């Protein structure tokens, strides 16, 4: 669904974890939906 809707990603969290602003932990994990484009440079001045 994330790819179909072209969303940035989703966040997974442990059920009993608490939100703590400004900190990082392994209780919250962001899964990024990387979007790539193939481009070709045909001319450069």
Q: Tens of pLDDT along 8-18?
A: 999 999 999 98
Partner residues linked to 29 by β-bridges: 12
- In this structure, what DSSP letter does residue 10 have? E
Q: Tens of pLDDT along 31-41?
A: 999 888 899 99
Q: Provide long-range contacts, Cβ within 8 A and 24+ apart, for 34-40.
A: 35/6
**pLDDT for the residue numbered 40:** 92
**pLDDT for the residue numbered 9:** 92
CB-based contact 31:12 (threshold 8 Å): yes
CA dist., res. 5 & res. 34, Å (int): 13
**pLDDT for the residue numbered 1:** 87
């Amino acid at each position: 669904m994330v790819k179909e809707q072209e969303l940035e990603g989703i966040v997974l969290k442990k059920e009993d974890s608490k939100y703590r602003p400004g900190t990082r932990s392994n209780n919250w994990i962001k899964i990024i939906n990387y979007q790539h484009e193939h481009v070709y440079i045909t001319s450069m001045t």
